[in-house]
Amino acid sequence: MNFFNIINQLAEVDPDVMGRLDTRRSVFNSLTSMSKRAAMAAGPALLASFFTKAYAGTTAGDPKEVFNYALTLEYLEADFYNKMIASPYFSTASAAAQAAIRQISKHETAHVNLLKAVVTGIGGTPTPAVTFKSATFASLTSFAAQLQVAQLLEDTGVRAYKGRAGDLLGLADVTITGIGTINPLQSALQIHSVEARHAAHIRYMRNQTPWITGTGDLDSQPHYTGAIPESNTTQSNVNLIAANSITPNTTYSAADAAASFDEILTPAEVTDNSRAGGLIGA
């Protein structure tokens, strides 16, 4: 197990991970060389205590449930893009826009197939497919309206994956017939990074910034709120818009601080009717 690879993977979805590992900032600050860090990381008991401390207060879920949760979101996205491509409004989009949506659709289908294989590979049963509500989709009477929903779906997916990454810590590699040996956490993070690129490209197609600013035309929607909203300006207990020792003589606006980090959504928040939950149906 490579400790620093795990830290790097976690940092992709949890910028607070170093703060989680030591909220007093004493352990890592006391290490003055890479050799000391490597020596400490080599101690299984110490490594275990780091992660116990890092995610204390969180409830690690059954990995089969975690992946089925992700699979449900991927089913929803895959069906949405299939409906989008079959819609009469798809032909009104530019060739570049059509190509982008077709490529994103292929990605979502690949994610569905991988997640089903992972769930099976770790001894679970893939959750039944869900679909995007036909009546809701029918109300999207332009390609532009469909892109709005695509943005909300992708941004929600990014926050959802980030919210469950900690539940996959320490899960052993799995050998899956037809795929090979994979690490479940790595697989989830790889999908997460692609979802983030989808979100950025959809936002770009809509003439929005590729990242969430809080001032976008959809940024007041419930998909950007939650217990930790995207407007959050505190990371690892550091108030980023206040003067502090980390960045002496530097101040950041609330907008800059908020835009610098993505925040999580909990499963209950994702499946709430105001977000993805309200889009699932016949």
Backbone φ and ψ for 234, nearest 5 degrees, come out as: -120, 125
Give dist(CA 37, CA 42) in Å, integer.
Answer: 9
3-state secondary structure of 132: strand
Cα 211 to Cα 73, 255, 259: the distances in Å are 21, 12, 7
Please give the full DSSP string across 176-239, using - where no structure is assigned: ETTTEEE-HHHHHHHHHHHHHHHHHHHHHHTTS-SS--S-STTTTSGGG-SSS-TT--EETTEE
Per DSSP (E only), the strands in 20-70 are: none
Backbone φ and ψ for 15, nearest 5 degrees, come out as: -60, -15
Region 112-119: what's the mean pLDDT? 92
pTM over 0.85: no
Tell me which residue of 222, 227, 230 sits closest to 254, measured CA to CA.
230
pLDDT in tens, 6-50: 545 555 555 555 554 444 344 434 344 444 444 444 444 433 434
pLDDT in tens, 143-182: 999 999 999 999 999 999 999 998 998 888 888 887 889 8
* Domains parsed from the chain with CATH numbers: 3-54 (no CATH), 63-222+265-279 (1.20.1260.10), 229-262 (no CATH)
Only one residue has tokens 């207060």, namely 57
82, burial (CB in 10 Å: exposed 0-12, middle 13-18, buried 19+): middle
Decide if pLDDT at 201 tops 90.
yes
